[in-house]
Amino acid sequence: MNHGPTIFLGVLLTFASAWLGLVFAPYAQMGEMRPLALDGGDFYPKPYAGLAARGREIYKAEGCVYCHSQQIRPEGYGGDIERGWGPRRSVPRDYLYDQPHLLGSMRTGPDLFNIGARQPDANWHYLHLYDPQAMSPGSTMPPFRFLFELRKIVGKPSDRALKPPKEWPIEPGHELVPTTDGEALVAYLKALDHTTPLPEAESP
């Protein structure tokens, strides 16, 4: 007896049901979702724009997603909130403008979903990118020094120059200045602030 058609139909139904459950259903749910209107006429979330949008592309290109997640688990499912990584769990509305989503697959480093709220100081981010171990002792993050230029100071120092600790071995008469890509990446990191209260994120 030829079971070929039956096997083919079974495989087809298996893939179709998986596609409906894993692709179509979430897409349909997100398609109905809209930004939340806040007091004062503002909305949450907002799409990334300008340098932050460019910085998101650099974040992807440099593989930051392989060591950092962007998702806060609810209480009782790990210690994300207890660690201070965010005041609430992540919900679908947070990712309305994230294409593709950068949820991450592991946490070699801390979650960055709210790093812009936890660390709003741009200079800290620049110094951390230039020398991660100096800013976070014990870190295994590689330095991203190609995002900076060591320049001789001509005239007065640049207002874009880093403010490194005095013990850093920067040549006298020189300054560290972030490249445009470095500025864009830090703009994106500072834009990662998902602390806005949302009704669907409240504990049941």
| pLDDT confidence of residue 18 | 76
Angle (CA) 163-54-176 rounded to 5° is 20
Structure confidence at residue 15 as a pLDDT band (50, 70, 90): confident
Q: How many Å apart are CA 21 and CA 32, to the nearest integer?
A: 17
Q: Write down the pTM of the prediction.
A: 0.84
Q: How many Å apart are CA 188 and CA 155, to the nearest integer?
A: 31
pLDDT for 54-98, tens place per residue? 999 999 999 999 999 999 999 888 889 999 999 999 999 999 999
Note the helical H segments in the chain: 4-19, 25-32, 50-61, 115-118, 122-130, 132-135, 180-191
pLDDT for 168-198, tens place per residue? 888 888 999 999 999 999 999 999 999 999 9
- CA torsion 13→16→22→26, rounded to 10°? -130
Position 27 pLDDT exceeds 80 = no
